Amino acid sequence: MIYLIKNRLRSFLFKNMDKQEIKVFSLLSAAFFFIIGAYWTIRSLKNAILKDTVGVSSIPTAKKLSVVAIICLLLVYSKLVDRIPKHRLFFIVCTFYSACFFTIAYLFSNQGFVNPSWLGFASYSIIESFGSVVVALFWTLVATTVDISSAKRGYAVVFASGQIGALLGTTLVTKAEFFGIPMLICISATIALFIPRIIKKFVMTSCKSKPACVTKKPAKTGLLEGVRLLATKPYLLGIFAIVAMYEIVVTIFDFQMQILANQEYGTAAYAAFNAFYGQLVTIIACMFAFFGTRFFIKKFGFRFCLTFFPIVVASLVCYFYMFPSLWAALTGMVTIKALSYGFNNPVKEIIYLPTSDDIKFKAKSWIEMFGNRSSKAGGATINGVLSDIPQGFVTYGLIISLSVVGVWLMVALLMGGAFSRLVKKQRVVK
């Protein structure tokens, strides 16, 4: 019976994959499970740490400061990626973040050692950058080793595994009043140390027939080189626009939810609320990644998948402004984030595939790290301006959000057509 269940589960998860693909995507799924598990555990705590040190109203400022942190980290990352093999770079990055998390846990337990505002803003920037740097590094590595046909079969499983990790992480945080915030931060720090070993195994497995790829290094990259590529390659600029428009709208929406939640809960309960929010997101995202993503991609194609998401976002934004409340905001954010993780992100990662390895390392890291974070800072700037205007969110929030979504929808239509043409003609953006 157990053998039968195992075979059926394997057949469902790894449908139409050969043995080598099963090994590769099993390892990718395990790595992403730990990455997202560690990230969502500490991500659910970042606003609670900020609340206990400088206040939730400082979220827009914290998001802007996180851009500075990302620029510094991206400059260092750009130098390291030129010189260090991929699996060793994962070891360095994950060890760095693990040490940072342990330090944050200690300082949060002994807040007399440092200025609370320094601790709050520094912790927020480090936690935000972990999601940008490690996730971007993971998908850059994957995009250089997996082809389009394999990606269509396996990406949904990888994303679903990540959501299971996120679900377990956020479940822990719902017990924040029992464990305590410092202990939960230490758990994230410990999980981060498991990631490099799995990545090393993945690199060795995926490169069995190509040993040189283990030590292959991309051409020299940097912050300005990523900007140059975006300015000269419309396809890459389109990807950036899709990422940026989403982040701006979600940042505006999420801040309103956080303000409403802050009015309802104390620090530990506020952390538990964010964890509950994360739980709902990961459950729905996981279900959609398992049962919906592959179906929609196969049935309707990439243009539909790219345009479907902004239409849903626009509908949910309108719903919130019609019925403004914490639970309306929670419903909207859960739906948007779940579809983003379980549906839009797999589609977005596949769009990177018809580009050269050189571009993946140069432009993708810029888009996913600096571009992503700067877009959030843009949304935070809008939040700061609207906060200073009486009824600013009610008066202007809807107009700004729908305007951004309108541009996003047009770009998605163009990018869907561009991707299909590249794949059909077997061309690569260089």
Where is 4: in which H helix or E strand? helix 2-13
Q: What are the per-10-residue average pLDDT scores of the chain (430 residues)?
A: 44 62 85 91 84 80 80 75 75 92 88 77 87 82 75 75 84 82 91 90 71 48 65 85 88 87 82 83 76 71 83 90 86 88 77 75 71 78 77 76 91 87 79
Which pLDDT score is estimated for 190?
Answer: 93
Tokens of 262: 């802050």
CATH of domain 18-424: 1.20.1250.20
Contacts of 208 (CB under 8 A, 6+ apart): 20
- Tokens 């609670």 belong to which residue? 48
Where is 360: in which H helix or E strand? none
Interatomic CA distance for residues 251 and 255, integer angstroms: 6
User: How many CA atoms lie less than 13 Å away from 386 in the CB half-sphere?
Assistant: 23
Interatomic CA distance for residues 9 and 22, integer angstroms: 13
3-class DSSP assignment, residue 108: helix
Which pLDDT score is estimated for 139?
Answer: 81
Q: What is the pLDDT of residues 324-380, one digit of tens each?
A: 888 888 999 999 988 887 777 777 777 887 887 667 666 776 777 777 777 877 888
Interatomic CA distance for residues 108 and 86, integer angstroms: 33
Q: What is the pLDDT of residues 90-129, one digit of tens each?
A: 889 999 999 999 999 888 888 767 777 788 888 888 988 8
List the helix and strand counts (H, then E) for the chain. 20, 0
Which pLDDT score is estimated for 366?
Answer: 73
Q: How many CB atoms neighbour CB 89 within 10 A?
A: 18
Phi, psi of 218 (to 5 degrees): -70, 165
Tokens of 83: 């010189």
Domain ranges for the chain: 18-424
